[in-house]
Amino acid sequence: MSVQVMVNGIPGNMGRIVAETCVARGLELVPYSLTGEIIVENEAEVAGKTIQLLKPSNREARIGEVLEKYPNVICIDYTHPTAVNDNAAFYVKHKIPFVMGTTGGDREALAKLVADANHPSVIAPNMAKQIVAFQTMIEFLAKEFPTAFSGYKLSVVESHQKTKADTSGTARAVVGDFQKMGFDFTVDDIEKVRDEKEQMERMHVPEEYLGGHAFHTYSLDSADGTVHFEFQHNVCGRKIYAEGTVDAVNFLACHIANGTARPFNMMDVLRSGKMR
């Protein structure tokens, strides 16, 4: 039996591509989606299906019919940073397993919510397996060699499509590991680039990907400026995140079936060896 998924965040770009990827990978797309109150439409055509859009004002009244028809559904969340915590509380309240791909929100409160409830979930600031592997590498560096870059200065710049409201969740997570190495650097020090002219000229984002990209550069310089290290990962498009999201859904579905589901992150998914 195929895994049932409800992709929340339709008709947004990420919601659409995740829904299409789910169908292409053989998952059953449930014809409902949580969306924002500002969305005018009540339906959207995605992946050959008519998706009914449930808004905050009517989702409590309608979630019962969704769960009655699809009792084993797993939710995928690509909504908005301001909706992260409310949506997570909604999933926990109704005992719906979920994969949270949306960045932003109060991440500490989110982690506490699922931990206290031992709620089946996969939460990560980035769903791309190669970038998750990079994050794991930096985490290892911070743990095993915390003084390797003593005296160095850190700078971080990230560029995303101009519609992205929050600072990159990936950059936030990586900065957290650099902080463990003694860098006097906060999330507020991350430079966000959202101006399209600057994105093309300075960050070298191809024009055709201005509407969907994720470019990150982490620079480490010695105190006297004679040594420079640079870590960089640049992604054009959204497909890499959609594929990783489907991997996370399948991983979570296996744990639910085996009775071993709990809160996970993408490092757990990567370590399982089950990512395509």
> Taking the C-alpha atoms of 25, 28, 32 and 36 in order, what is their torsion angle to the nearest 10 degrees?
-20
Choice among 80, 119, 129, 160 that is catalytic? 160
Spell out the residues 6+ positions from residue 275 whose beta carbon is closer than 8 angstroms to its own.
129, 244, 247, 251, 269
Q: Are 161 and 211 in contact (CB under 8 A)?
A: yes
26: left (phi over 0), alpha (psi -120 to 50) or beta: left
User: In a 10 Å sphere around its CB, with 0-12 CB exposed, 13-18 middle and 19+ buried, how is residue 93 labelled?
Assistant: exposed
Rg (CA), the chain: 19
Choice among 80, 119, 129, 164 that is catalytic? 164
Q: How far is it between the farthest Cα atoms of the chain? A: 65
**SS3 (DSSP) at 258:** helix
Is 216 one of the catalytic residues? no
Q: At 247, which amino acid appears?
A: D
And the tokens for 50?
A: 């008519």
Known catalytic residues? 160, 164
